[in-house]
Amino acid sequence: MNTPIYEQETIIRWYRDEERATIYTSDLTTMTKLDKLTETSDDWKLGKVSKFPDGTVADKTYSCPKKLISFRSKTITRNLTDEERAEIAARFRK
């Protein structure tokens, strides 16, 4: 059992007097991204995990320092040469 795509959501919450933000999500794509962050960074923490009666994950709650949340004014498009792409790929493999 899964949440239909049109009902999947992500909510980011923080209070001015607290250092950490809370991220609730029922979006499977966002869960995958945040799960990877919890595996690779000590700043990201997995909190509550809710499951459907059949055992599949319904939603998860994460937390991180507020300074890791950012808002951007525009999207950036980068035009990379083949050499630059190969260099970046090599860096990621390390």
Segments making up each domain of the chain, as ranges: 5-93
Q: Quick: pLDDT tens for 31-43.
A: 999 999 999 999 9
Q: Is residue 1 predicted with pLDDT exceeding 80? A: no
Considering Cα of 10, then 70, then 40, then 42, what sign does the dihedral take?
Answer: negative
Question: Does the reported pTM lie above 0.75?
Answer: yes
Q: Going by C-beta distance under 8 Å and a sequence separation of 6 or more, which residues neighbour residue 56?
A: 1, 2
Considering Cα of 85, then 89, then 92, then 94, what sign does the dihedral take?
Answer: negative
Q: Quick: pLDDT tens for 40-75.
A: 999 999 999 999 999 999 999 999 999 999 999 998
What band does 9 get if pLDDT is binned at 50, 70 and 90? very high
| pLDDT, greater one: 80 or 30 | 30
Radius of gyration of the chain (CA): 17
Q: What is the pLDDT of residue 4?
A: 87
